[in-house]
Chain A
């Protein structure tokens, strides 16, 4: 809740304004019965003039109530949406500050849900508080006091009633909480099954598994239905139960009033208004209960947002001055395992790469090639050993310097919506047209970019759906090389290119990025055959280093890989 409270001072004027408006609304609602009383008196006294004055008053006050309601809504909406937007920004800033490990722990999809749905819940909560919830205590306290003033002897009935209602709702809430949690899990499960059946529709059909999938889905769906009904039943009981408690108290009050009246006959006149106030108290309680169940969801959302805001960023960068790093890379006894994984993915890896060297990395799937590469831009920190770039341990490096030095081209090319130029400038903020053309040239993207109607200003749609896999990879490579980084890592990033284009890219890299240290991770030996040195990975270990020719002689594993890719001599 303090996420919301923290922002109250910023909008205090609107909040106070909406509170005043609510008060006016309540006052005008409560004033009307009093005026009604006066009207009745005026009729009794046959006072035409007073009657007219009261009529004007009645209408003026009603109109004030109407206007106050409108103003309240406007202010409440403003505050709710502003607090929502501010919270969203706050959380977004926090996420942008996260390390990659933080993001993976939350999972990207989950963070998106928190930024959208959960924020939405919070907005609704604030809106409800300012628009209606605030009325409840007014109504409750007002009628409570008036009731006790009316028949002081019966104060305890109201107190007992409030306690009973409180107890019943506490029990119901407790039960509900369990069901809600189960419901949430079942919803996730239903979505999961539906989702994987959509993604795997060809698998399901080709294996004739339609009936089994249906059965699987129906079991969960039925369970979900049962939970849903349980929750519905609790609601079906609790709402009549609340009013029943109120009515029972009312009957009891009249009964007791009968006894009290034996000594104080004047109490009879007060019974009618007492019961009226009593009903108002019940009404306020029911309203509060409904708001509570409603806000329960919002409170869960708030907790989920807190979780994000309270997360400590892993991989903190030291506050050291920026410096220019050279293109050397050094691993010293590096071991690394992913969180929650017992097997280390990298084991005792040591090597040194000179600036400007071209290194190929090969190895079987799961041998740790990509993990090794991800340590260089410090997406993760190793548990043991040190990674150095330009001679500086990454634990002591300035973040900006590291980003300027290392450029990483991923296997899965991700582009952002915008224009091609926008995407290339992600690699170098102030890139000129000439620089973009040079980068596109290296990535063999010039040909297709030039054919587009707006060339570098051509739009990239969401999920870059207007480009083929090969085109995306080319643009992603162009983004990687545009800043002339001292170190370039290509993680199997030419896999969607045909053999010829791949060769051209490599040639261009060789010529245009002479001083750049290049690490190429590849499945195909032909991609790395011209590297200065080739690293061979196997089960998390670096098992061979050397040129293609050397490795053929010294590394059995390399030889095996080579054999599988060797052309048949005809």
Chain B
């Protein structure tokens, strides 16, 4: 589908439920434009009546007042019409962009993890902010303006040709030049605004980096240097934005100027026509006056539409960027899949091959089997594929070939929701959501009671700390504020997982940012949680996995050693070396 068609379809889909609203808007606008164009006639009438009234007060008073009433009614109708149109558009644009926003967020919740891993957060976020903003601005402002101006223009052209064909052509003669000039200016503007955006992006990048790294700047005394580097970048932005602004700001005055010149030509030509056109002098005079009005009015819509063009362009780009997301593949939720229940026997990875992108395979035929209730530890250097295995167990990604089965049944056969209900994860990077600490702990189980929350927090060894805060469990947190240290954040995320009582537990380096004393406490708590549960643990700290039923050593996507701690030490291979380098031995 072409881009234009897609964009049109996008707007159509979101607008179609507001057909009535559009009808109201159009009728109201047509009416108010009509009243606006017609009002001068009534103004003229009332002045005529005024003149009569002065000459003979008694006879003409009623007619004078009647003319005034009519004029007032026309003005009121015009104002009411434009109010109705504007209010209708406000509602349409408000509700339709709200639907877009909700739709976009809903779509995000259905996208695959792969999408998030391969797109920058900032880029996705800007669709919520600037793209939706641009669409809403365009709907709000340009929709009414464009419609009004088009109506006005059509109305004026009709009127002009009705009054005098020659003068109508003269008035319109310069419009091709104006249009070409406008097109040229718009093209130049786009070009220079792009250049300007590039320089501004550069500057923003610099500022962001410097200010985010201010600790380094301060401790190394680099402030002067930072300013020194800032100045040339700022200067380039100044030059680029000046040029961009000149072009984008030029449209209005140039169009105004052309309108002025055009009016001058109309006056001149009208005057010449009056003297040499073989017309009655008084008629010709009237024509000149009328066409001066029209020349001014004729250019107004052109100016307005031209100045709205860039806004319109932004909205189209925004719509395009939104459709990009709406067209993305969604996660397969296996709606008809079987419902997962308790694990009876084992989880089995057989000959699993996987790659994030087609060229580089990460797992080259991995076989791991875990008995129900056992704990398996995955060990290996960075890039060995440990985290990838976790991604597969929760179906964040699917295997390329081979299979992962629970009691012989492929993961992909289970209903996705029911699978994830039974798989609990503690991630490498803990994330807190804006809200209270309690909100964060009950995240996966919103119905949990206070007692359950406290029990989970106690198991995760974070209860005492939470209680020491002034607002306890109701303390407001977000991912950015620093009530919690990195380690403590992880404890909260552990409590969160405990509360969902998962059948299969996956811990991805969950303790690597917690100090060893706290880690030991978690270890103890985790021992209880793990009891009776099947679990995968991925950790740098070998201490956390010494008690594993089975240790699987991965390297470059292959299993190279397998066994319990004692067995692996005896093998005296990779694991044994790792173990020796990490621990303090009695000195």
Contacts and interface: CB of A to CB of B under 8 A. Distances in A.
A563 B64 CA distance: 104
Contacts of B242: 77-78, 81-82
A62 B102 contact: no
A569 B227 CA distance: 57
A316 B79 CA distance: 61
Contacts of A241: 79
B379 to A, nearest CB: 13
Nearest to A496: B382
A393 interface: no
B211 interface: yes
A498 B215 CA distance: 26
A403 B224 CA distance: 13
B113 interface: yes
Interface string A322-344: 00000000000000000000110
Given A200-B479, A225-B94, 7 more contacts: A58-B264, A92-B230, A96-B223, A268-B50, A377-B218, A399-B221, A499-B578
B583 interface: yes
B442 to A, nearest CB: 10
A192 B434 contact: yes
B475 to A, nearest CB: 12
B68 A254 contact: yes
A275 B43 contact: yes
A7 interface: no
Interface in A117-169: 123, 127, 131
Interface stretch (A67-75, A297-305, A443-451, A511-519): A67-75
Given A192-B478, A427-B220, A565 B54 contact: no
5 contacts: A62-B257, A66-B260, A81-B242, A209-B443, A272-B47
Nearest to B90: A232
A39 B470 contact: no
Contacts of B200: 116
Interface in B390-442: 394, 396, 417, 420-421, 423-425, 427, 431, 433-434
B119 to A, nearest CB: 9
Given A115-B207, A254-B68, A247 B234 contact: no
A107 B212 CA distance: 9
B72 interface: yes
B129 interface: yes
B105 A202 contact: no
Contact of B211 (A111, A255, A549): A111
B517 interface: yes
Contacts of A503: 581
Contact of B220 (A67, A127, A403): A403
A544 interface: no
Contacts of B470: 342
A191 B128 contact: yes
A561 B129 CA distance: 48
Given A97-B223, A379-B215, A566-B584, A196 B102 contact: no
Nearest to B81: A240
B396 A526 contact: no
B91 A462 contact: no
* Number of chain A interface residues as a range: 35 or more
Interface string A527-570: 00100000000000000000011000000010011111111111
Interface in B235-288: 235, 237-238, 241-242, 245-246, 249-250, 252-254, 256-258, 260-261, 263-265, 267-268, 271-272, 274-275, 281, 284-285, 288
Nearest to A89: B234
A458 to B, nearest CB: 18
Nearest to A363: B515
A204 B54 contact: no
A567 B583 contact: yes
Nearest to A244: B79
Contacts of A81: 238, 241-242, 245
A229 interface: yes
Interface residues of B, number: 159
Contact of A112 (B204, B275, B583): B204
B427 A203 contact: yes
Contacts of A28: 260
A365 interface: yes
A243 B86 CA distance: 14
Nearest to A272: B47
Interface in B124-153: 124-125, 128-129, 136, 140
Nearest to A523: B515
A236 interface: yes
B172 interface: no
A562 B584 contact: yes
Nearest to A56: B268
Contacts of A565: 516, 543, 583-584
A214 B223 CA distance: 44
A141 B62 CA distance: 36
A232 B137 CA distance: 11
Contacts of A214: 102, 105-106, 109
Contacts of B566: 570
Most buried by B among A201, A235, A549: A201
A254 B50 contact: yes
Interface stretch (A172-180, A257-265, A352-360, A434-442): A257-265
Contacts of A187: 129
Contacts of A54: 268, 271
B436 to A, nearest CB: 13
A565 B76 CA distance: 84
Interface string B500-511: 100000000000
Contacts of A209: 443-444
B209 interface: yes
A199 B257 contact: no
B446 interface: yes
B82 interface: yes
A127 B260 CA distance: 23
Contact of B226 (A96, A262, A275, A364): A96
A261 B50 contact: yes
Contacts of B285: 40, 43-44
Nearest to B223: A96
Contact of B116 (A32, A48, A62, A201): A201
A243 B205 contact: no
Contacts of B565: 568
A194 B427 CA distance: 20
Interface in B62-117: 64-65, 68, 71-72, 75-76, 78-80, 82-83, 86-87, 90-91, 93-95, 97-98, 101-102, 105-106, 108-110, 113, 116
B204 A224 contact: no
Given A198-B125, A561-B516, A236 B267 contact: no
